[in-house]
Amino acid sequence: MPRFVDKPLDLELDEATSPGVHLSCCVEGLPQPEVKWLHNGKALTPTLIYLDREVSPSIIGDRGGECVAVHNGPQHQLEIRNARKEKHQGTYTAVATNLYGDAHSSAEVKFKAQAKTEDERAGPGSARRASLPKG
């Protein structure tokens, strides 16, 4: 039965400066389990890269699209480029499966709240009222 040796860790990202989501895990089992990723319970369909198999160097260099799953023996990674709060925040689950069963491990991805400017804290229209000419 599959077993997580290292589980994905929760992340808190800054949308403005983060290069994206990067989750990783290590799974053991015989036969070696396959790992699939879910986001909020829905299966992701990432570009798959197997570093432990013979792969075209152009595929590794290109790294596919926005969402990439990299497999290297028991090591598994999920990479999401240009992550945005409205689309990518939530629960990510790694599901490891082989013929003896499955194991699940989840991590939460959250985005930090953006700091409000002084005008935003003052409320709507306050900047306009302050700049109106008197008279």
Residue 70 to residue 135: CA distance in whole angstroms: 67
Q: What is the pLDDT of residue 15?
A: 85
CATH fold, domain 3-131, is Immunoglobulin-like (2.60.40)
What are the boundaries of each domain within the chain? Answer: 3-131
Percentages helix, strand, coil for the chain (3-state, rounded to 5) are 15, 45, 40
What does the pLDDT look like over 99-123, one tens digit per residue?
999 999 999 999 997 765 555 555 5
Stated pTM of the model? 0.76
Q: What is the pLDDT of residue 57?
A: 43
Token pair belonging to 132: 């109106």
Say which range, 28-32, 74-78, 121-125, has the weakest mean pLDDT: 121-125
How far does CA 30 lie from the centroid of its chain?
A: 27
